[in-house]
Amino acid sequence: MRPGVLALSAALALAGAARAAEAPPRGEDVAATPQAVYAWAARHRLDLKGWELESIDESSAAFYARPVPVAPVMRLTMRLEYFRPAPLGDGRSVGSVSAVVEVDCRGGRRRYLQTRLYAGADFQDYIRTDPDTAWEPLDPDNPHDGYFRDRCEGK
């Protein structure tokens, strides 16, 4: 699953840090249903106000904030929350990811910008920002790209 959300304000980050400090440890299996994901998020005190659940797999749930048209592309903010921290390969683990996604609806392509990785849930404990990706064609087998196509078509 592709990482990716726009940075939150310092006030929200501080509020999230307080919530994260009170949350139970992460690392559980979560059924691939919206109800199970929202129950898991509530147990871990994730602030999902303004976020739409887009997809669920065995390791994470992806959310998007409302798309913003920025002619000639659509810009979305993506949030990825891992049910169990995922190893990065350098000894650290990622718990959440944020990215800005630009979608060229006419050109049938997308790119990820400002991809930020965090060790904790709810954008806590910043690790790094990955380089922006080049434009890539929308993949018919990628569930995120299906979501983007639906938004391009106004669904």
Paired residues of 110 in beta bridges: 103, 136
Domain ranges of the chain: 10-152
pLDDT confidence of residue 16: 39
Q: Label residue 27 by pLDDT band (50, 70, 90).
A: low
If one looks up domain 10-152 in CATH, what number appears?
A: 2.40.128
Number of C-beta neighbours around residue 29 at 10 A: 10
The alpha helices in the chain, defined as continuous H runs, are 10-22, 34-43, 143-152
Q: Label residue 14 by pLDDT band (50, 70, 90).
A: very low
pLDDT confidence of residue 89: 87
- Residue 68 Cα distances to 1, 72, 100, 109, 146, angstroms: 22, 11, 11, 16, 17
pLDDT tens for each residue of 35-78: 889 998 998 889 999 998 988 888 899 999 877 777 688 999 99
pLDDT tens for each residue of 73-132: 899 999 999 998 999 989 999 999 999 999 999 999 999 999 999 999 899 999 999 999
Report DSSP state, residue 77.
E
